[in-house]
């Protein structure tokens, strides 16, 4: 009924030209065929994403489905066997992406259907937004009546939900589960922002609109905010007077399996957890060896605490970062391990991380700009000490090269210069895996100069193992966020604040479910490929590392196919069991 009420308000409906669903035949003639096709795909997808930007829009989901299906049809028309090697790789990348995009649309529909009963008023707000995007004129009095009716609908729904809660007691139906309600509350937040943007398009520019609509809009905004708060407090169980709990949304085994296929990882989540546990055992043995070398015997926690206290003083961290960055570049250059362009060395820069951001990212972030986590004068005393200890000299020595050179900064530098069209396929298994691989490779090359350095590197390597374990178990529904925090504190040696920030970052939805697992798994993939090509004598260190950087950010199994000259077919499927 609400859908009809909104539709009749659009006085002159904009006549839309029927959208062609097939990708255009005329492509950039200056590019290789598949590169030209991918460049067009990126551009067309960007237009759709910018236009269909309303939250959970059914029209957008339908449009995306038609778009990806049409591109699949276009791709199938190409004669794969007649393509050159480079184009065959690009073909497989695009085919893999399109299949996963369609699966993601279906998954998004499923997730929305679970919470639809809690947000059944949403379509009317989305339709207002989508009509505004085409410049439709509205009849202000009718809009005011629609918003007033929506306000009443939200109030009625709140009463209905409360009654269902009272009746269900502890035995709640699926649509009243806390995770579903939290998802719905976040959706209501997005609807508030959408409604505000829609109102701002007309308000003041159309005085009659403002005269009629201002108060109904204000009332509806308040009702939406109150309803979102009601869902969080009464259904999810969040105390508004306490710090926000960590509420992730596990994706489940089926979606994890789809994501692993997309990333070309031919292992089950359970197999990956077993790999992480095996690597964890290696890290623990090495940590005990370092602990003994430092005189702490089997008490690895005491050794770790010793290293945590070896931090620089307030204001001295930037100087340390520059020192560590120069040291890593010198080490790599002296051994001729890879090509490092002088401009890449010259142009990285540094920023300090805000206290608010440190609640989610307690350690460095990097790329062309390394964002340094370190305590500020406004922090509580205990928080200052945790930040100092978590960003000590030896932990930092193990992370600066991860963030700068040869890690993320060098990756970004090369991605901007080689096969740029592949950036649309960006994967953390290549991005984070490369940086983690260098933590392993530098260990093998005896980059740590002391037992303290070894402890610093082992802390991070153990943490990468733990990330696989807790992130996959969380999304399988086998570990809660609180259990993950305890796991990091007890088994890795994190400060509790830092462990909390790490788990919040991992499961809150800001990162894809496989992102945290991708660090070590991607590193193990590249390490296995290094053994196959460099240790066998088929490639030099420098040629191997340069070749990986020049392929851009793609699944590492396809990097392997390229470097080993593996025959490719249209029906290529992931099969590389990279872990011995």
Domain ranges of the chain: 1-245, 307-563
The 10s digit of each residue's pLDDT in 141-183 is: 999 999 999 999 999 999 999 999 999 988 899 999 999 999 9
Q: Residue 350: enclosing H or E segment and its boundaries?
A: strand 349-352
Structure tokens at 221: 């905004």
Angle at 337 between CA 331 and CA 339, to 5 degrees: 100
In this structure, are residues 296 and 306 in contact, taking their beta carbons and an 8 Å threshold?
A: yes
**Spatial separation of the C-alpha atoms in residues 436 and 522, rounded to whole Å:** 8
In this structure, are residues 121 and 153 in contact, taking their beta carbons and an 8 Å threshold?
A: yes
Among residues 53, 167, 219, 188, the alpha carbon closest in space to that of 118 is found at 188
Which whole-number Å values give the CA distances from 220 to 46, 53, 61, 153, 215, in the listed order? 32, 21, 26, 10, 9
Burial 26-45 (b: 16+ CB within 10 A, else e): ebeeeeebbbbbbbbbeeeb
Dump the DSSP string for 411-479.
HHHHHTTS-GGGGGG--HHHHHHHHHHHHHHHHHTT---SHHHHHHHHHHHHHHHHHHHHHHHHHTTSS
Q: What is the pLDDT of residue 360?
A: 66
On the 0-12 / 13-18 / 19+ scale of CB atoms within 10 A, 529 is buried
Q: What is the pLDDT of residue 446?
A: 96
Phi, psi torsion values for 351, nearest 5 degrees: -135, 160
Beta bridge partners of 351: 371
Integer-rounded Cα Rg, in Å, for the chain is: 27
In this structure, are residues 497 and 361 in contact, taking their beta carbons and an 8 Å threshold?
A: no
Phi, psi torsion values for 352, nearest 5 degrees: -100, 140
In this structure, are residues 90 and 554 in contact, taking their beta carbons and an 8 Å threshold?
A: no
- Residue found under tokens 């529909």: 109
Would you give the DSSP letter of residue 372?
E
Q: What is the pLDDT of residue 13?
A: 28
Q: How far apart are the first and last CA of the chain?
A: 60
Could you tell me which residues come within 8 angstroms of residue 39 by beta carbon, excluding any fewer than 6 positions away?
27, 28, 31, 421
Q: What is the pLDDT of residue 371?
A: 87
In this structure, are residues 275 and 579 in contact, taking their beta carbons and an 8 Å threshold?
A: yes
In this structure, are residues 67 and 44 in contact, taking their beta carbons and an 8 Å threshold?
A: yes
Q: Residue 369: enclosing H or E segment and its boundaries?
A: strand 369-372
Q: Which residues of the chain have pLDDT under 50?
A: 1-20
Q: What is the pLDDT of residue 300?
A: 96
**Spatial separation of the C-alpha atoms in residues 221 and 405, rounded to whole Å:** 48
């Amino acid at each position: 009924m609400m859908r009809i009420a909104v539709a009749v308000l659009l006085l002159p409906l904009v006549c839309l030209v029927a959208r062609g669903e097939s990708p255009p035949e005329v492509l950039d003639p200056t590019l290789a065929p598949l590169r030209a096709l991918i460049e067009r795909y990126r551009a067309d997808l960007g237009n759709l994403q910018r236009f269909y930007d309303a939250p959970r829009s059914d029209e957008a989901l339908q449009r995306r489905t038609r778009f990806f299906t049409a591109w699949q049809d276009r791709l199938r028309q190409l004669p794969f066997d007649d393509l050159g090697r480079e184009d065959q790789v690009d073909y497989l990348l695009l085919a893999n992406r399109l299949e996963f995009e369609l699966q993601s649309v279906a998954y998004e529909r499923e997730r929305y259907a679970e919470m639809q009963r809690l947000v059944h008023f949403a379509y009317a707000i989305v339709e207002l937004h989508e009509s505004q995007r085409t410049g439709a004129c509205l009849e202000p009095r009718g809009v005011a009546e629609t918003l007033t009716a929506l306000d009443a609908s939200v109030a009625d729904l709140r009463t209905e939900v409360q009654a269902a809660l009272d009746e269900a007691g502890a035995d709640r139906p699926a649509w009243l589960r806390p995770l579903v309600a939290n998802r719905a509350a976040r959706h209501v937040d997005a609807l508030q922002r959408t409604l505000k943007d829609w109102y701002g398009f007309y308000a003041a520019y159309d005085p009659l609109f403002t005269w009629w609509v201002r108060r109904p809009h204000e009332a509806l905004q308040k009702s939406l905010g109150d309803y979102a708060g009601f869902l969080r407090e009464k259904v999810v169980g969040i105390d508004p007077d306490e710090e926000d709990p960590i509420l992730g949304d596990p994706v489940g085994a089926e979606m994890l399996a789809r994501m692993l296929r997309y990333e070309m990882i031919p292992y089950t989540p359970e197999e990956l957890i077993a790999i992480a546990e095996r690597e964890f055992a290696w890290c623990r043995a090495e940590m005990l060896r370092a602990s003994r070398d430092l005189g702490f015997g089997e008490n690895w926690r005491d050794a770790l605490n010793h290293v945590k206290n070896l931090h620089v003083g307030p204001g001295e961290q930037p100087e340390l970062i520059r020192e560590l960055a120069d040291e890593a570049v010198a080490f790599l250059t002296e051994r001729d391990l890879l090509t490092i362009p002088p401009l890449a060395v010259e142009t990285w820069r540094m920023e300090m991380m805000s206290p608010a951001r440190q609640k989610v990212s307690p350690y460095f972030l990097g790329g062309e700009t390394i964002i340094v986590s370190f305590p500020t004068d406004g922090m509580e005393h205990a928080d200052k000490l945790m930040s100092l200890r978590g960003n000590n000299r030896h932990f930092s020595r193990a992370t600066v090269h991860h963030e700068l050179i040869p890690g993320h900064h060098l990756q970004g530098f090369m991605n901007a210069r080689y096969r740029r069209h592949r950036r649309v396929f960006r994967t953390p298994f290549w991005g984070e895996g490369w940086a983690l691989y260098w933590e392993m490779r530098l260990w093998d090359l005896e980059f740590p100069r002391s037992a303290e350095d070894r402890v610093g590197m082992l802390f991070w390597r153990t943490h990468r193992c733990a990330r696989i374990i807790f992130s996959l178990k969380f999304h399988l529904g086998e570990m809660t966020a609180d259990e993950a925090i305890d796991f990091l504190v007890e088994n890795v040696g994190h400060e509790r604040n830092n462990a909390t920030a790490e788990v919040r970052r991992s499961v809150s939805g800001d990162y894809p479910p496989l992102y945290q697992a991708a660090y070590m798994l991607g590193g193990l993939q590249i390490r296995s490929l290094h053994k196959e090509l460099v240790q066998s004598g088929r490639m030099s260190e420098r040629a191997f590392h340069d070749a990986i950087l020049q392929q851009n950010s793609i699944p590492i199994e396809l990097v392997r196919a390229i470097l080993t000259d593996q025959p490719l077919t249209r029906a290529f499927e992931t099969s590389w069991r990279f872990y011995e």
